[in-house]
Chains A and B, each alone.
Chain A
Amino acid sequence: MSRTLHSTLDVSVIVPIVERYGNLQQLHHEFAAELTRLGQKSEFIFVVDDSQRGALPVLRELQKREGERISIVQLNGSFGESAALMLGLERARGEKIMTLAAYFQVEPRGIGPALAALDEGADLVAGRRFPRIDSFFNRVQSRLFHWFVRRLTSTDFHDISCGFKVMRRRVARELHLYGGQHRFIPILAMNRGFTVREVQLPQRSEDRPARFLGAGAYLGRLLDILTIFFLVKFTRTPLRFFGLLGLFLFGSGFVIDLIVATQKIVWNLEISDRPLLLLGVLLMVLGVQTLSLGLLGEMIIFTHARNVRDYRVAEVIRGSRGETVSEIPTGRQPVPPLEISPAAEEREPGPALQVS
């Protein structure tokens, strides 16, 4: 790797090739050309999942032609898109980092406005395919998905599953994605206190065909949304979530049984053949279980994250000459914000990886 490339690099483009890929040669050609036209020196990092080995010959050829502007990270296993992105981010050297789907989703001419938004002070720019020209089915499922996401995370994104994102390096440094979290990058960044903007990009016609996912995949999406909802809202306060739910369950069970018991006492109504009594008991038991799990969650946070800070400081200014000490609160180690699974990065397989 030459020093000169490193020092003059503006944008690192990361292309995770995990589920499917399109014409990679052309993808690279068009986006690289647009970046050059905008005066941005770029590098492309292709992260190839084991299941997509078919893409390798094309990429090798591309690398032969373009040299060090192309890196290929080859995973010797299927670890999912989040892992692929993380490995790409690790190698990215540009001050700005762009992620791109491995097929044509948006027109390259969308890069200009996105970079402009970044220059205007955004830390992360999320692409939104708009106006959408793809199949009705795609649009309906996307609408539904985003409606849920907006509701549960109280954000206002319309197309977080669009692969096109541009972010500053400092955002990338704080992303610790695992599982299905790559879909929620804008929300996670926002939660960290970064300025996130959505920019409308013209959709490509190649993105048109309807995509049907298996029933399992849809269930997975739903659980992903719930996970993010929990992560964003209740990471520090699990008992608020479980506690409310548990109290509600317990309360309703209690009321039901109270009614049954009153009927027994007042009207001497036979109690033993009433399923309602059973329902009440069941609800109370469920309530206590939910509550106690929340309590355990709270204990985990309390005993494992006591020194973790809730807030992210943009800067600390000491008086007088107004010297700016950026990012790091003085006197203490910069503490990373709470991670549900701090070991996630370490879990990424080191040896199962080849870089060429």
Chain B
Amino acid sequence: MDLSIVIPLYNEEESVDALYQEVTTAAEALDREYELILVDDGSRDATRAKLRVLCARDPRIKGIFFRRNYGQTAAIQAGFDQARGRVVITLDGDLQNDPQDFGLLLRHLDEGYDVVCGWRKDRKDSFSRRLPSIVANRLISALTGTPIHDNGCTLKAYRGDIVRRARLYAEMHRFLAPMMSLSGARYKEVVVNHRARQFGTSKYGFSRIWKVFLDLLTIKMLLGFTTRPAVWFGLLSLPFLVGTIFAFAISVYRHLTLLPHMQYSLVFPTITILFVFAAAHLIVLGVFAELVVKVGDFRQAETILATVDDPGESHHEQNIAQHA
């Protein structure tokens, strides 16, 4: 299988048929063997029924139906789990992405990139829809150090073996590319076509910003902390250790310079105690975290992408873990 096309769908009854037409037309033009993975994320409208009809018609389709709405990340992960292609393309089910861009993405992927992200430079959405997205993208770029303009664009192409290693949860689809880049994937951004929404309504709003922030914090910390928990927790406790020294010094100084008629204030000794508590708590947690990671099934090598020169492989990328 050359190509898997993964499309998450949630309440897209008006778009499904047109989407199918466009995607198949575009995919056929590529002249590659492909499969179409349509994931219904617990739609409450006719999407399910329409998908069933399509499934009964086209053997290249694989329909996955969720029990309830689990969100786009889960839908994409489900698609990834089913994808058998050497290359995997994801796109939105709302017709805003243009399947004609497939060729463009694949060309760049063949240049030797692991992930090619679509960039909706000329976005056809209202400002109120774009603003949270701009803020979120800035945040993601700043915190992960990957200057991607448009993390929210679902239209992306991936090398298949990366996809099969992806473990997405929560709402991680938004920083899939930064995450992959942190584990060594080479990414490229290409400007893709973006069309105004014809049917239905957008499923996002501003409320997601704080989630983006916390999720980012999580990923950032996870990537560092999981490999060396004791060290990172130790670093976290450092400010408190320094604080302890200062607070203690101040307490002693005040005690020594106390004049007979003044009352000694306990504020600084108490602060000393609090800081000691906090530092000890963090150091103990760090040791505990080492334990947690040790008994878990985390393999750092599995998260690392590396280039292995293997003349026998036409596709020169290999997972280091397979060789280890």
Residue A278 lies at the interface, judged by CB distance under 8 Å to chain B: yes
**A285 surroundings in chain B (CB, below 8 A):** 240, 274-275, 277-278
Q: Contact partner of A298 among B82, B218, B298, CB < 8 A?
A: B218
Distance of A319 Cα from B52 Cα, bound (Å): 9
Q: 6 interchain pairs (CB within 8 A)? A: A236-B169, A243-B217, A299-B225, A306-B298, A317-B62, A319-B57
Against B, the Cβ 8 Å flags (1 = close, 0 = not) of A289-321 are 100110110111111101101111111111111
Cβ–Cβ < 8 Å partners of B59 in chain A: 318-321
User: 5 extra interchain contacts, Cβ-Cβ under 8 A, other than A237-B169, A281-B275?
Assistant: A275-B267, A300-B296, A312-B66, A312-B70, A329-B78
Assess the B267–A311 pair: CB atoms within 8 A.
no
> CA of A271 to CA of B267 in the docked complex: distance in angstroms?
9
Q: Which residue from B222, B267, B289, B292 sits with its C-beta under 8 Å from A277?
A: B267
Q: Which residues of A contact B254 (CB under 8 A)?
A: 272
- Contact check, A307 vs B285: say whether CB atoms are below 8 A apart: no
The answer to whether A306 and B214 have CB atoms under 8 Å apart is no
Inter-subunit contact B64/A243 (CB<8 Å): no
Q: Is the CB of B81 within 8 A of A296?
A: no
Q: Are A317 and B63 closer than 8 Å at their CB atoms?
A: yes
Say if the beta carbon of A121 comes within 8 Å of chain B.
no
Residues from chain A with Cβ under 8 Å of B124 in the complex: none
Q: Does B310 count as interface, using CB distance less than 8 angstroms?
A: no
Binding site for A on B (CB under 8 A): 42, 51-52, 54-68, 70, 73-75, 77-78, 81-82, 84, 167-170, 210-211, 214-215, 217-218, 221-222, 225-226, 229, 233, 236, 240, 250, 254, 265, 267-268, 270-271, 274-275, 277-278, 281-282, 285, 288-289, 292-293, 295-298
Interchain nearest-CB distance for A75 vs B (Å) = 31
Give the residue of B62, B74, B214 whose beta carbon is less than 8 angstroms from that of A311.
B74
Chain B hits for A299, CB < 8 A: 222, 225-226, 229, 289, 292-293
Nearest-Cβ distance from residue A315 to partner chain B, whole angstroms: 5
A288 contact set on B, CB distance < 8 A: 236, 240, 278, 282
Tally of A interface residues using CB under 8 Å:
52
Nearest opposing residue in chain A for B299, CB measure:
A306
- Chain A, residues 71-90, CB within 8 Å of chain B (1/0): the string is 00000000000000000000
> In terms of DSSP, what is the predominant structure of the interface of chain A?
mixed
Per the bound structure, the CA–CA distance linking A302 and B302 in Å amounts to: 13
* A331 beta carbon closer than 8 Å to chain B: yes
Across the interface, name the chain A residue whose C-beta is closest to B223: A302
4 tightest A-B contacts by CB? Answer: A193-B67, A303-B296, A320-B59, A319-B61
Question: In the complex, A292 Cα to B56 Cα: how many Å?
Answer: 51
CA distance A302 to B278 in the complex (A): 25
Bound CA–CA A310/B72 (angstroms): 11
For residue A32, give the distance in angstroms from its CB to the closest CB of chain B: 33
Q: Is the CB of A307 within 8 A of B297?
A: yes
Contacts of A320 in B (CB 8 A): 55-59
Chain A residues lying within 8 Å of B297, measured Cβ to Cβ, are: 303-304, 306-307
The reply on A21 being an interface residue by CB < 8 A is no
Tell me the complex Cα distance, A274–B268, Å: 10
Cα separation A183 to B114 with both chains bound (whole Å)? 48
Residues on B with beta carbons closer than 8 Å to the beta carbon of A282 = 274
- A300 CA to B60 CA in the complex, in Å? 39
Considering only residues 42-91 of chain A, those with a C-beta below 8 Å from chain B are none
The residues of B that contact A277 with a CB separation of less than 8 Å are 267, 271
Question: How far apart sit A97 and B218, CA to CA, in the bound complex (Å)?
Answer: 41
Complex contact B225–A295 (CB within 8 A): yes
A108 CA / B120 CA spacing, docked (Å)? 61
Pick from A243, A271, A281: contact of B218, CB under 8 Å: A243
Instruction: List the A side residues contacting B63 at CB < 8 Å.
Output: 316-319
The docked-state distance in angstroms from the alpha carbon of A194 to that of B75 is 17
Residue of B nearest to A331 (CB): B82
Within 8 Å by CB of B67, from A271, A313, A332, lies: A313
Q: Chain A's nearest CB lies how many Å from the CB of B5?
A: 13
**Which residues in A have their C-beta under 8 angstroms from that of B210?**
244
What are the residues of chain A within 8 A of B82 when measuring CB–CB?
316, 329-331
Q: How distant is A107 from chain B, measured CB to nearest CB, in Å?
A: 32
* A273 touches B (CB below 8 Å): yes
For A275, the chain B residues whose CB sits under 8 A away are 267
B233 near A292: Cβ-Cβ < 8 Å: yes
Alpha-carbon distance A273/B81, docked complex (angstroms)? 61
Distance between Cα atoms of A314 and B167 in the complex (Å): 21
Chain B residues near A126 (CB-CB < 8 A): none
A254 nearest CB across to chain B (Å):
12
- Which of B65, B81, B278 is A289 in contact with, Cβ under 8 Å? B278
| Cβ-closest chain B residue relative to A193 | B67
Q: Would you give the shortest CB distance from B321 to chain A, in whole angstroms?
A: 13
A271 to B, closest residue via Cβ = B267
A274 and B218 contact, Cβ closer than 8 Å, known pairs A317-B65, A331-B82 = no
Q: How far is the CB of A41 from chain B (nearest CB, A)?
A: 29
Knowing A275-B267, A309-B77 are in contact, say whether A321-B56 is a contact too (CB < 8 A): yes
Expressed in whole angstroms, the minimum distance between the Cβ of B198 and any Cβ of chain A is 26
Complex interface: chain A residues within 8 A of B57 (CB): 319-320
Task: For the complex, give the distance between the alpha carbons of A181 and B51 in Å.
Answer: 37
How far is it, in angstroms, between the C-alpha of A69 and the C-alpha of B47 when the chains are bound? Answer: 45
Partner of A317, one of B55, B218, B285: B55
What separation, in Å, do the CA atoms of A273 and B167 have in the docked complex?
A: 52
Confirm or deny: A322 has a beta carbon within 8 angstroms of a beta carbon on chain B.
Answer: yes
CA distance A258 to B231 in the complex (A): 29
A62–chain B nearest beta-carbon distance, Å: 39
